[in-house]
Chain A
Amino acid sequence: MAYKDEQLHEEKVFKDPVHRYIHVKDRVIWDLIAAPEFQRLRRIKQLGTTNLTFHGAEHSRFSHSLGVYEIVRRIIYNFKGRRHWNDDERLLSLCAALLHDLGHGPFSHSFEKVFKLDHEYYTQQIIIGDTKVNEILRRVAPGFPQKVADVIAKTYEDKLVVSLISSQIDADRMDYLQRDAYFTGVSYGHFDMERILRVMRPIEDQVVIKSTGMHAVEDYIMSRYQMYWQVYFHPVTRSAEVILTKILDRAKHLFEADDFTFKLEPTHFASFFTRSATLDEYLKLDEAVVYYYFQQWQEEDDVILSDLCERFMNRRLFKYIEFDPNKQMGEVKALQQLFRAADIDPKYYLVIDSSSDLPYDFYRPGEEEERLPIHLLMPNNELRELSRQSDIVEAISGKKRTDHKLYFPMDKLEEIKDEDLKQQIKAILYDQGEIQDVE
């Protein structure tokens, strides 16, 4: 029997708190899960620094990836025999679902920002490069790794396969919303996924929703909206992200400086600082390694690096005020000068964070041909964009919520010896609005 058709003698199941069981029968899937590049995802948290806000959020990209695989498996089971669905694409869809996040690194959002990396590029490299995952995929067919990479990159010719893991209502989002809600312990993020799976229909190059299932999709859109504001955009998590980003900035700055010697050389980071990281070096960096450096760097002679690491390790985060760039840019300039006068480097200790700095989106139908929206399949077989049918979705889509926050270390400001300087800084900050705690 060809490797691609090989089945396990007995179906394997993974116990999962979100989907109850994750079922594996294909030998290829079983082998991919065992590959070192996939096992590495156990050491990458799904939500990065969110565990500093919601302590339960310790779940990994490994469990999320299994979850996405399971949802796609169930969708395909429902699609079997339907017009427009080609069952020859089954294994390809399952592999792409399982491997879609393979290139994520530790705290990937901050890392990508500072080191100008792209996890999608590394996902491609792991799949087509010299790796165990590639070896397994090549056993299916020589061109199979490239096909899997193309599906994940959304450039595969069969858009229906792409849309299973990447669209406005896809397996990726359906898993992470539920999984993140479960592990953070929040009460939003729940919706009737079983119902959505039952009303999904393959139509030409996209997955659409039977109009009778509109209310289940409304619930999904509401969950997505609430999770963004309550979990993903949480100001405390953003404070931790700000500090993390500044640690990486500072370490890079010191690495490039001629006159600084680290007590613990940033060996694992060096190729990232010089933007020359090989695939092998990329795969070696996981969260355990990063935490080790941050732990050790608390002892460095550079007071900024050691302070930022100590803050991150002990959750001594920055406080913030709501910030309006329209009216308060002048105050920021004044604060930058006062911070410098107080010997506090504003580059690291006065940071504006905007909602667009975060890697999440919420549903908006957009303009024609801007991005594919969610389509409802009406009884007369017409397709209607969701917000044109649903008042609830229309109401949410019209509400454009964006925000900007100004982060700073209140405790450090309290330590300023020059009382006059301290009062000037506090006067500006207090004048801008209430200073928000991050406890």
Chain B
Amino acid sequence: MLNNHAKLMQFFSIAQEVTGRKKLQKMIYILQKCNIPFEEKYAFHVYGPYSEELTLRVEELCNLTFIDEVKEDKGNYFQYHYHITDRGKNFLEEFGLDMPDMSNKVDQLKSKSARFLELVATMLYFDDLTKSEVEAKIHQVKPKQKYSEAEIAASWAFIGDVTQTH
């Protein structure tokens, strides 16, 4: 009962603040790929793995005032900031969720840009392919992002690191 909501609350309680919906989407996806048991269903969209279920669940958490959403007008687009509220903290405490520790992973993910996490998430999406096939796929599905060889190498290193971190 509301287990999946509680898992997200646990994430927000560790992350404190997340800036950007795209970043949030990719963070949860990468955590899933690190075997953290988030159950939101993802599909591939123009900007990499995206979960409508996650979007709606975050909206629910905002409407319940468990999470505070701040909308910032950036001129030609909006950016959203999320942080857990006191009510949210109470809910989480009462819920008594049993979940693996993901603090180090969340810290690592938070320190990266949305663009970089998009690359990481996309590479993980194609994890059934070989390394060279993944790299070819990146250039094929994301030609506009023009990811450099250095960024792709950094992404491989990050994947190796984040999947090992406890």
Contacts and interface: CB of A to CB of B under 8 A. Distances in A.
A157 B142 CA distance: 8
A389 interface: no
Given A325-B5, A400-B63, A153 B44 contact: yes
Nearest to B78: A367
Interface in B58-108: 59-60, 62-66, 74, 76-80, 87, 91, 94-95
A155 interface: yes
A361 B55 CA distance: 9
B57 A356 contact: yes
Given A326-B66, A370-B50, A371-B50, A154 B43 contact: yes
B60 A371 contact: no
A11 interface: no
A329 interface: yes
A372 interface: yes
* Residue of B21, B79, B137 contacting most chain A CB atoms (<10 Å): B21
A439 interface: no
A230 interface: no
Interface in A111-165: 112, 118, 120, 153-155, 157, 159
A364 B22 CA distance: 14
Interface string B37-51: 000010111110010
A367 B21 contact: yes
B141 A157 contact: yes
B67 to A, nearest CB: 12
A366 B54 CA distance: 13
Given A326-B87, A367-B80, A402 B47 contact: no
Contact of B21 (A118, A330, A366, A372): A366
Given A326-B66, A356-B57, A371 B47 contact: yes
Contacts of A369: 22, 47, 114, 118
B141 A356 contact: no
A177 interface: no
A332 interface: yes
Contacts of B22: 367-370
* Residue of B53, B56, B66 contacting most chain A CB atoms (<10 Å): B56
A372 B46 contact: yes
B1 interface: yes
Interface in A311-370: 324-326, 329-330, 332, 351-352, 354-356, 359, 361, 364, 366-370
Contacts of B53: 356, 359
B25 interface: yes
What size tier do the contact residues of chain B reach? 35 or more
Contact of A155 (B44, B57, B63, B114): B44
A118 B41 contact: yes
A364 B71 CA distance: 14
Nearest to B118: A369
B52 interface: yes
Contacts of B62: 400
Contacts of A361: 52, 55-56
B60 A355 contact: yes
B44 A367 contact: no
Interface residues of A, number: 33
Contacts of A370: 21-22, 25, 47, 50
Contacts of A400: 59, 62-63
A361 B94 CA distance: 30
Contact of B2 (A153, A352, A402): A352
Contact of B60 (A205, A329, A356): A356
A69 to B, nearest CB: 21
B77 A368 contact: yes
Contact of A402 (B44, B56, B114, B118): B56
Contacts of B56: 355-356, 361, 402
Nearest to B94: A329
B63 A329 contact: no
Contacts of B50: 370-371
A386 B141 CA distance: 25
A45 to B, nearest CB: 21
Given A154-B43, A326-B64, A332 B1 contact: yes
* Residue of A155, A332, A367 contacting most chain B CB atoms (<10 Å): A367
B140 interface: yes
Nearest to B40: A356
Given A120-B43, A326-B87, A329-B94, A367 B77 contact: yes
Contacts of B64: 324-326
Contacts of B45: 154, 371-372
Contacts of B114: 369
A352 B3 CA distance: 10
A157 B47 CA distance: 13
27 contacts: A112-B41, A154-B44, A155-B137, A155-B140, A155-B141, A157-B140, A159-B46, A205-B144, A325-B5, A325-B91, A351-B1, A354-B60, A355-B60, A356-B53, A356-B57, A361-B56, A364-B55, A366-B21, A367-B80, A368-B77, A369-B47, A369-B118, A371-B46, A372-B45, A372-B47, A400-B63, A404-B2
Given A326-B66, A359-B53, 7 more contacts: A326-B64, A329-B94, A355-B60, A361-B52, A367-B22, A370-B50, A372-B45
Question: Which 8 A/B pairs are nearest by Cβ-Cβ distance?
Answer: A368-B77, A356-B56, A356-B57, A402-B60, A367-B21, A154-B44, A370-B21, A361-B52
